[in-house]
Amino acid sequence: MSYYSKPLNNLINELVKLPGIGPKTAQRLAFFILESSIENAENLARALVKAKSGIHFCRDCFNFANDELCPICQDPKRNRDLICVVEDAKDIVAIEKTHQYHGLYHVLQGTIAPIDGIGPEQLKIAQLLKRLKNTTIKEIVLATNPNIEGEQTAMYIAKLLKPFNIKTSRIASGIPVGGELEYADELTLSCALAGRREI
Amino acid sequence: MRNYKTKGIVLKSMNLGEADRIITIYTEREGKVAAVAKGIRRTKSRFGARLEVFTDLNLIIHRGKSLDIITNANTIDPHLGIVSNLDKINYGYAMLELVIKTAPEGQTDARLYQLLAAALDYLNKTDIDSGAVLVTFNIKLLAITGFLPNLSVCVVCGDKDKRTVKYSPADGGMVCGGCRASGREVFTVKEPVILLAHRLLYKHFVEVEAVPIEKRDVVELARLLRFHLAYHLNIKLKSEAFLE
Ligand SMILES: [Zn+2]
Ligand SMILES: [Zn+2]
């Protein structure tokens, strides 16, 4: 019971597979593409294929890269004493936007998730340890998400890092800036208390 | 009644769309429920960390057309002692996965909620071997769901033969010497292991500490239950690879 021609239907079906795109949005995007010029459609198609075929993972940090190394690993101005460990390449973007961090990164590509059978071997943890041999790294910042999975992954990596004698830190978590104590839950509040600092 | 109030324990959570999550909860009133927590991934979500796995909470859930929606969540216990301990957390995950995989869809059993809450509360506080807590939970869970292997009498003829130490997966329990002859596949379970199973089954978690427990018996009992689950429910736990 399709109201659309087959190619249009195919287009909608492909768009709806994208995260955050429901059937309504997919339909709107499909109509937008059909109503715009053929050049626009070709540019979009080319950009998709080029991104997918030309981009791979950085040799050192597993961020997206179009050369052997990603732009951050290639940048001579970055501080090579620091590695910030994140779950996902998207997290790099979030941290870069703060303009507060100038070190390198390491993308784990996920978290430990026992119920889904995802263990340390499926993540880029061994590669992180390998990076620490014959380098000048002085500190590892564990910036996995402050939820149970991210916390477990950070604790696990911290344990593995012990023998390396490298300073290891965990990003602070607790009450969001602008939030109020009254509305904080017990887990968040106990993290905030545990991570209190001298002022 | 479009809304219902219940206690529940968070078993699993999965990202949905831009900022939402689908939370799988074992509730006291409605059994296993998958409900949406809207906006929970935003840093200033009013849910905060209340819907993290292992949390025991009071909930108000709205019955939606397709998916239920969590409208209110209040923590009873986040089980910090489990989630902040690398050893305990993996045993905790095995408990959650057991509930996810054995709890029948659309069926409510308040005892299952109470069992999970008691097991997590105990694991949260205790210093005894986490393996013993897990195996105690496992055997009680099988008793509630009706899949407990019969360890007292011969399951084929009903004869109570004290020296019966052969477990037959196909029969779902112990078999005696006579029945064994008929060519059933069996394997040996040591007597202390069977004894341990009986002790753990009828004890509250807080009493488990007083049970004399040999580590190797715990390991063997866990193996027996694992085998039983795989044979009768076709269940293999992914989280098991993370134990020890
Ligand atoms: Zn890189
Ligand atoms: Zn018999």
Which two three-digit tokens encode residue B153?
């009498």
Q: Give CA–CA dist B96/B111, Å, rounded.
A: 15
**Per-residue model confidence (pLDDT) at position B147:** 86
Any chain B CB within 8 A of the CB of A17?
no
Q: In terms of CA atoms, which chain A residue is nearest residue B80? A: A187
Residues in chain B whose beta carbon is closer than 8 A to a beta carbon of chain A?
12, 17-18, 43-44, 46-50, 52-55, 75, 78, 80, 83-84, 86, 89-90, 93-94, 96-97, 100, 238-239, 241-242
Is residue B234 left, alpha or beta, with left meaning phi > 0 and alpha meaning psi from -120 to 50? Answer: left
Which two three-digit tokens encode residue B184?
């059933």
Sketch the domain layout of chain A as residue ranges: 6-54, 64-194
Any chain B CB within 8 A of the CB of A54?
no
Give A153 to chain B, closest Cα distance, Å: 9
Which two three-digit tokens encode residue B130?
């986490």
pLDDT per position as a tens digit, A9-66 = 999 999 999 887 888 899 999 999 999 999 999 999 999 998 888 889 999 999 999 8
Give B36 to chain A, closest Cα distance, Å: 15
Measured between beta carbons, the chain A residues lying within 8 angstroms of B46 are: 183
pLDDT per position as a tens digit, A52-63 = 888 899 999 999
Closest CA to A152 of A196, A120, A106: A120
What DSSP character marks residue B60? E
pLDDT-flagged residues of chain B (< 50):
none
Say which residues have a Cβ less than 8 Å from residue B210's Cβ, sequence separation at least 6. none
Domains of chain B: 3-77 (2.40.50.140), 80-151+189-243 (1.20.1440.120)
Which two three-digit tokens encode residue B115?
């069992």
**Per-residue model confidence (pLDDT) at position A168:** 96
pLDDT at A1 over 60: no
Q: Residue B201 carries which side chain, given as an amino acid letter?
A: L
Inter-chain CB proximity B53 and A148 less than 8 Å: yes
Give the Å distances, CA to CA, from B120 to A73, A156, A168, B115, B219: 44, 21, 30, 9, 20
Say which residues have a Cβ less than 8 Å from residue B85's Cβ, sequence separation at least 6. none
pLDDT per position as a tens digit, B151-207 = 888 888 887 765 667 888 888 888 887 777 666 778 888 888 988 998 899 888 888
pLDDT per position as a tens digit, A91-100 = 999 999 999 9
What DSSP character marks residue A169? E
Mean pLDDT across chain A: 92
For residue B14, what is the enclosing H or E element? strand B3-16
Is residue A176 left, alpha or beta, with left meaning phi > 0 and alpha meaning psi from -120 to 50? Answer: beta
Which two three-digit tokens encode residue A45?
């198609």
ipTM: 0.85
Arithmetic mean of pLDDT, A79-89:
96
Q: Give CA–CA dist B66/B64, Å, rounded.
A: 6
pLDDT at A107 over 90: yes
**Per-residue model confidence (pLDDT) at position B170:** 83
**Per-residue model confidence (pLDDT) at position B111:** 95
Class of domain A6-54: mainly alpha
Measured between beta carbons, the chain A residues lying within 8 angstroms of B86 are: 152, 155-156, 159
User: Confidence band (pLDDT; 50, 70, 90) for A87?
Assistant: very high
pLDDT at A86 over 70: yes
**Rg of chain B over all Cα atoms, to the nearest angstrom:** 20
Distance A88 CA to ligand 1 centre (A): 13
Inter-chain CB proximity A187 and B17 less than 8 Å: no
**Per-residue model confidence (pLDDT) at position B32:** 95
**Per-residue model confidence (pLDDT) at position B181:** 61
Q: Give CA–CA dist A187/A168, Å, rounded.
A: 23
pLDDT at A5 over 60: yes
Which residue among B17, B44, B49 sits closest to A185, beta carbon to beta carbon? B49
Class of domain A64-194: alpha beta
